[in-house]
Structure formats: structure tokens, C-alpha cells
Amino acid sequence: MSDNINIKYEYVPRFKAGDPESVSYLEEHGYVVIANALSDQESTKALNLIWDYLEGLDTGIDRNDRDTWDNDRWPTAVHGGILPGHGIGHSAAQWYIRDIPAVKEAFAAVWDDEDLLVSFDGVALWRPWTYNQNWRTNNGPSWMHIDQHPIGRPGKHCVQGLVNLLPSSPATGGNVMVPGSHKRFAQIPERYAERLSRIHPKIDHFRFPNDDPLLADSQPIICHMQAGDLMLWDSRTIHCSSPGLETPTGDQQLFRAASLICMMPKSKSNADVIAMRKEAVQNLTSTTNWSDRFINADEFPDIAAAGKNAFKLPPIPVLNVNQRKMVGWDE
């Protein structure tokens, strides 16, 4: 895919968690930004906990020394910056963020349901590529995609999310959304019938060619986000992440840090999946965004090639009552 898609950096409306207007905006545009789901202090704590996880891998990473952030010590990353495995889904950082009340409140408003299961997702960390060109994340137009199979899962099924832990800017880049593209989701099976016939209905990742009308007819945007903001998007919305539209200047540390998180009603799942989720906590198994079924992120090719135990794993989490309910326990 070429790079001729024009991406615009935009200051979009931001809503309070639980605001009915946030749900209306999501339904209309396919994404929404929730303001200050985490306070500045909570964002700082969450980022420090992520660094605790990285330093705990026992590879010699030092948050204060960029020379120790090389790929030989860094956990396996995909798409240039997403860390999906090696126990990250059960790190203290991820469980801390999931337990922030405003995060759950935002998802509860979307589903009109308080009984939610949380994904055991990872994080997105973008090291400063101005310091090391090998750290540059994938260019946005190279992987515009949806995360829902157009035939296997028609209609609305999932709302994904990420909590931003550092402020974004045109220089840092961020998540790219194609507003309103979720409304044309039903057109995809006819346009890509032959290709979809070769994709298993349970494989939800689907990429678009650069000349797709869905991209030509809509303005892709990087949404401005403050530290602590939560972005939600419909899995039918075309999206990706992209490096900055400008060259960063100054002495940069991480360009971007975000926690990936998704919550879905427990009623969408079943007893077998919930049993596997309980085992996943004890086995430190991360998953994809789909919390209504079980997809083991440690089986991703890049993670499997490295080996789940290639790094020292975090301790098994000791969960409070609210966190246990998000796994699937009844108490």
C-alpha cells in the first residue's frame, strides 16, 4: 500500500465517561474520546507500572537509559510498537488501569450493562525513532484495517479501547480513525467476496487496499488526546496507528504509551470461555480484544517464535473483587 492517503491531525470533541452524548457520538462517527478517564496522577502511576514490567523482564532494560531499549532486550512487538504477549496482559499496570472506575463506566454506557468481561490485552509503546530509526512504527496507510469479520460477525459486536498515558501531538502520531466507515461495513462482503471466502470467519483482522472507496471518500484523522484520555471505537471502523505527521524535536523519551482495553457484556460469552479466562489469569496468558471468546495472544506467530517464557514473566496477579468479576468470577 502506498503512502498517498492524507491523514489529518484533528482536535475532536471529548466527553465525560458515562455521558449519553458519548454513546451517540460513537454510534454516529464510529469512535469517541472520553476525557480524563485517568487523572494525571493515575496516568503517571500506570506508566511507571509499565516500566516496572519492562525492567522486570530481567533483560537489562533501564527506563532512564535509552541504550538499553534495543530489540534484543525489548519484548516482542508487532506493527512497530504493540506489545501483546509475555505476560503483559496480566501485568500490574494493565490490572491497575482496568480497575479505574471511569474506564468501566465508559464501556458500561456503551453496552447499557454493568456486568462486563475485560480483555487481557497488552500495551502500545513507541520508542523514539529519532534516536533509533529501527524503532519507527508502521506507517499508517500501510495497515488500514478493521477488527471484525464482515461475514462471520455482521452488525455491532465489539467496541475496542485504549487509554492514552502520554499526550499526543502531530509529532507523536497516534491512532488513525476513518470516521463513519463503520456504517459501510455491510458493503464489504460484496466488494471483497473472493478474498473473504479465503479468510476463516473467526479471523477478524481485515486490511484494505489503498484505493478502497471507503478510504477515498472519508478523511482519516489522528485524534488529539491528552494523557488519561480513553478512546473507544467500533471494531467495524477502519483504523490503524501512525507515526507523527511532523518530525519530533527535542530530547524525546517514549513518543507514545497506551493501554489497550476492551470490555464486553458477560452475557455475550459462555461458561467454557469463562473457564479458560480464569485459567489465563493463573497462566499469565494474554488475549486479543475479544473478551466474549478466548484467543490466546501468546500463539501469535511473532510471540510463539520468541517463546512465551523468553522473558521473566510478571507475578500472578492478586485480584480484588471488581477485577475478579471482570474475569468472570461471580463474587
Q: Burial level of 16, CB count in 10 A (0-12/13-18/19+)?
A: middle
Q: Cα dist. 41→61, 102, 172, 228 in Å?
A: 24, 14, 21, 9
pLDDT at 141: 63
pLDDT at 140: 60
Helices assigned H by DSSP within the chain: 20-29, 40-56, 92-98, 101-111, 188-191, 193-196, 213-216, 271-283, 301-306, 321-327
pLDDT at 48: 98
CA-based torsion, 144, 150, 152, 156: positive or negative? positive
What one-character-per-residue DSSP string does 263-294 give? EEEGGGS-HHHHHHHHHHHHHT--B-S--SS-
Nearest to 96 by CA among 159, 35, 53, 158: 53
pLDDT at 212: 85
Measured distance CA(8)–CA(258) in Å, rounded? 20
Nearest to 289 by CA among 307, 263, 321: 263
| Conformational region of residue 103, where left means phi above 0, alpha means psi within -120 to 50, and beta covers everything else | alpha
139 close to 243: Cβ distance less than 8 angstroms: yes
Element (H, E) at 233: strand 230-234
pLDDT at 88: 96
pLDDT at 105: 98
Q: Say how far residue 108 (Cα) sits from the centre of its chain.
A: 18
Q: What are phi and psi for residue 16, nearest 5 degrees?
A: -80, 145
The string over 25-51, giving b where at least 16 C-beta atoms fall within 10 Å of a residue's C-beta and e elsewhere, is bbeebbbbbbbbbbeeebbebbbebbb
Alpha-carbon dihedral 25, 124, 55, 276, rounded to 10 degrees: 80
Grid cell in block for residue 106: 465508559
Q: Burial level of 146, CB count in 10 A (0-12/13-18/19+)?
A: buried
Element (H, E) at 157: none
Domains of the chain: 8-327 (2.60.120.620)
pLDDT at 79: 78
pLDDT at 108: 98
Element (H, E) at 145: strand 145-147
Parallel, antiparallel or unpaired: strands 82-83 and 256-265: unpaired
Q: What are phi and psi for residue 231, nearest 5 degrees?
A: -100, 135
Residue-level pLDDT, tens digit, the chain, 331 residues: 335 678 999 999 999 999 999 999 999 999 999 999 999 999 999 999 999 999 999 999 999 999 999 999 999 988 778 999 999 999 999 999 999 999 999 999 999 999 999 999 999 999 998 888 888 776 666 789 999 999 999 999 999 999 999 999 999 999 999 999 999 999 999 989 999 999 988 889 999 988 888 787 889 999 999 999 999 999 999 999 888 888 877 667 899 999 999 999 999 999 999 999 999 999 999 999 999 999 999 888 888 888 877 899 999 999 999 999 999 999 6
